[in-house]
Structure 1
Amino acid sequence: MANAEVKRRGKGRWIIAGVLILVVAFIWWRHSGGKKGFGGPAVQAVGVAKAVSGPMKVTLDELGTVTPVSTVTVLPQISGYITKIGYKEGQTVKKGQFLVQIDPRPYQIQLEQYQAALAKDQASLDQARSDLARYLKLAAQDSISAQQVTDQKFLVAQDAAAVQSDKANIDSAKLDLTYCHITSPVAGRVGLRLVDVGNYVTSGSTTGLAVVTTISPTTVIFSVAQQNLTEVLEQLESDKTLTAAAYASDDVTKLEDGTLAAVDNQINTSTGMVKLRADFPNTDGRLFPNQFVNVHLLVKTLENATLVPSPAIQQGALGSYVYLVQPNNTVKVRVVTPGPTDGINTVITKGLKPGDEVVVDGLDRLSDGAKIMVAGMESVTTNGAPESVTTINTAGAGSKSGKKRQHRPNDQGSSGAASL
């Protein structure tokens, strides 16, 4: 019985020791990067894609504000009571369309008074001219003094000046009558009503009778950083038309296409930004005054650029790099110089050439010289849409669908990288 008990205890100790050995071996295997037995590092399954040559649109993505071409506050030029309002709030009006009527009767009476004064002074002038003609005949016969003839000439001049004054008064009264009938100075949309029938307005009023804002066409004012201004000016100096697209706040819904119209003449020293203005036809009125929009300004298109998926670019102590696939199914760290990106693809200006294969998926456990197993080569597709560029579709590359990303200069577009 004693010997059996000793054997059972010895067997239990061996079982415990075996379990401990397995646990230690498992921990060592986990910390050694998944080495299988004594055969070296495990092969890492990765997704790869080839660098291709294609176009890349360099686009500045900025925040802008819809700024109408004209915003006019219609002010009264004369004083009087409002007798009629000819617009509805929010109505679209044409240039010259009737807006407000001020009581014209006082100005009509004043016009008639000036017309009567003109008739009186015109009669006096005609009489003075008739007398002057008679005096000239008598003077030729030496029947009256020269002084009398001269005085009559002065009287004619005075009556002529009085007639001119009356005519000016009549023109002023007619102008006042015109001011009683107020029309829209521009085509646009009328805002909320500022006055009502029966209100008394004066020529010194600052409130205004109505506010008319042009809707179509319109402009968008936005700012770009001073480091991006040079390439914009270079394109303008080459007489090239830069296109701008306005997007809603979600940066997905396109509202309108337009063109760059002007660049401000100075940089804001506090922000390092310069203002630009883009013109938009806005025929459907989707751009509303003072609306915030995202402006995508197409500066230029890089032709035959080397493109790789943005997730392939990593960041480390050496800077930007990619894992370049080698013929012996290993990877090599290749330092690259990235250029503009659209969030999906990135231009490589130095370090790669079209046809090179880079790792785009399974990057987290790679290192220089690691063995890989290619899970599958992703196909390269070219979208022929007017606003598209050559894109590289890779499975698991982490690219977002549904949102149109715009190309931004010097945007690295890299994902979480293993440090070198």
Structure 2
Amino acid sequence: MIITFGRPYRMKTHSVSKIKWRNVILLLVLVLLIVFLVYYFFFRHAAGDGRGKPGMDLATPVHSGVARQADVPEYLSALGTVVANATVTVTSRVDGQLMAVYFTEGQQVAKGQLLAQIDPRSYQATLEQYQGSLAQNQALLKSAQLTLARYKTLYAQDSLARQDLDTQTATVGQYLGAIKADQAQIDAAKLDLEYARITAPLSGRAGLRLVDPGNMVHSSDTTGIVTITQTQPIAATFSVPQVYLQTLLQALRQGNGLPATAIDQDGVTVLAQGKLNFISNQIDSDTGSIKLKAIFDNKDERLYPNQFVNIRLQTGTLAKATVIPAQALQLSSDGDFVYIIKPDNTVARQAVKTGPTFGDDMQAILSGVAPDDRVVTEGIDRLKTGSKVSVVNSAPVGTAAPVPEKARDAAGSPEHKAIQNKSVTAQ
């Protein structure tokens, strides 16, 4: 009994001891692995960016740009609506049957072009009637004038009474009046014949035909035959806050048309260039805005009546303003700021006051940055005041790239593919 139960008991004690040592070894290996990972990912990674061991001062690589001076245009942006410069409903000025139509719907027509023909036969007959009456009265006038000449001779010989001479003189005058009346009727008949040929009163694009040939038309009709809209030139109306009223008035009073640019509804493509030439004579009391109208040549007809567009109006120019690359400007809860690179390659955070955008990638700075200052454009995330930096692309001070030609254009060039941010007059 003792031998049978003793062996299993000694074997169980040996197995438990072996398992304990195995767990201890695994635990030690795990601790060593954790220590190694902490050392590798913390100390070495921190040392790589200069934030590991105390006393290390490794420079952060950054890209930079140089501030420079330029004349920066100031813009107002508003949503506008394209309107036809003139719209005319072509109606008949005489009564008659519409015989033919000589235009195609949607066709570009020229001023004076024949559009339609009304039956002219009745007006031609009336004209001939008045011409016959004129010929008759002209013959009677000639006879009366000859008789008057004889009467004057007889009266001079004291062979005719004064009353007969006066009567004949009045007869001549009567026929002269009849001839003038006949001539006026002839002119009116010719005008009716001219009105029977309906022509375009202005150049523009014809709309849909409102009356078909064969119908009777009357001078009292209000529907008309067709509507013509003038699209070359074309206008765009828009409104701006009344605070800019005096700025606009001063420019217009001096005879300086303000350049205006029409941009598509998405704010991407420049459609046309024009000028502001009209300002409303009163302020809208409901919105506190003033209504404006700009005119565009629209040679390529990229603007169409009732089209919605973005209008960018140049109101002035900031002369010799300081400009920096737009990517250098940073936003925070404290306001706008940039990092300026000092001569010792350390950076300082500098608060700035911004102006209008300039070109596609430049930003005007009203205060906080001086010309020739170097500013950080990339690698800003890990910087703070006093951080050491290594500039990898810095251009020599004062050798910045030339100002883009399109940015200097006061009205904005057609190459611009993005609408500028709303710019305000420098305060």
Q: Retained in 1: the 8 A contact 2:340–2:350?
A: yes
- Matched to 1:225, the amino acid is P
2:289 matches 1:248: no
What residue number does 1:354 align with? 371
Q: Retained in 1: the 8 A contact 2:75–2:424?
A: no
- Matched to 2:353, the amino acid is T
Deviation at 1:327, TM superposition (A): 5.1
- Matched to 1:289, the amino acid is P
What residue number does 2:39 align with? none
What residue number does 1:84 align with? 100
What residue number does 2:418 align with? 404
What residue number does 2:407 align with? 388
1:248-397 mapped onto 2 (5 Å cutoff): 248-316=264-332, 318-326=334-342, 330-342=346-358, 344-363=361-380, 367-369=384-386, 371-374=387-390, 376-377=392-393, 382=401, 386-388=405-407
Q: Retained in 1: the 8 A contact 2:357–2:421?
A: yes
1:174-213 mapped onto 2 (5 Å cutoff): 174-213=190-229
1:149-228 mapped onto 2 (5 Å cutoff): 149-228=165-244
Deviation at 1:37, TM superposition (A): 7.1
Q: 2 CA distance for matches of 1:71 and 1:200?
A: 24
- Matched to 2:135, the amino acid is A
- Matched to 2:370, the amino acid is K
Moved more, 93-102 or 51-60: 51-60
CA separation of 1:89 and 1:127: change in aligned 2, threshold 3 A: same
What residue number does 1:397 align with? none
Identity over aligned pairs, percent: 39
CA separation of 1:268 and 1:152: change in aligned 2, threshold 3 A: same
Gaps of 5+ in 1: 23-28, 391-401, 413-420
1:81 is paired with a residue whose SS is strand
CA separation of 1:106 and 1:67: change in aligned 2, threshold 3 A: same
Moved more, 309-318 or 340-349: 309-318
Q: 2 CA distance for matches of 1:382 and 1:356?
A: 14
Q: 1 CA distance for matches of 2:334 and 2:231?
A: 53
- Matched to 2:340, the amino acid is L
Q: 1 CA distance for matches of 2:315 and 2:102?
A: 46
CA displacement 1:6-65 (0-9 Å, x = unmatched) = 99999999999999999xxxxxx9xxxx97577799987655433233343323333333
Q: 1 CA distance for matches of 2:342 and 2:403?
A: 32
Deviation at 1:241, TM superposition (A): 5.2
Q: Retained in 2: the 8 A contact 1:244–1:295?
A: yes
- Greater helix content: 2
TM-score (norm 1): 0.76
Q: Retained in 1: the 8 A contact 2:59–2:390?
A: no
1:120 is paired with a residue whose SS is helix
Count of residues paired in the alignment: 398
Q: Retained in 2: the 8 A contact 1:51–1:358?
A: yes
TM-score (norm 2): 0.75
Q: 1 CA distance for matches of 2:160 and 2:228?
A: 69
One of 73, 77, 90 as aligned partner of 1:57:
73
CA separation of 1:167 and 1:331: change in aligned 2, threshold 3 A: same
CA separation of 1:265 and 1:309: change in aligned 2, threshold 3 A: same
CA displacement 1:92-149 (0-9 Å, x = unmatched) = 2222211100000111111122222223333333343344334444444444443343
CA displacement 1:201-241 (0-9 Å, x = unmatched) = 00011111222222333333333333344444444555555
Which is greater in Rg? 2
1:126-137 mapped onto 2 (5 Å cutoff): 126-137=142-153
Gaps of 5+ in 2: 1-13, 37-42, 44-49, 410-415
Q: 2 CA distance for matches of 1:46 and 1:228?
A: 41
Q: 2 CA distance for matches of 1:143 and 1:403?
A: 100
CA displacement 1:352-404 (0-9 Å, x = unmatched) = 112323344455565555x35446345586366531369xxxxxxxxxxx943
Q: Retained in 2: the 8 A contact 1:383–1:389?
A: no
Q: 1 CA distance for matches of 2:94 and 2:122?
A: 11
Q: Retained in 1: the 8 A contact 2:270–2:417?
A: no
- Matched to 2:407, the amino acid is S
Q: Retained in 1: the 8 A contact 2:64–2:393?
A: yes
After superposition, the CA RMSD in angstroms is 4.2
2:284 is paired with a residue whose SS is coil
Deviation at 1:185, TM superposition (A): 1.8
- Matched to 2:423, the amino acid is P
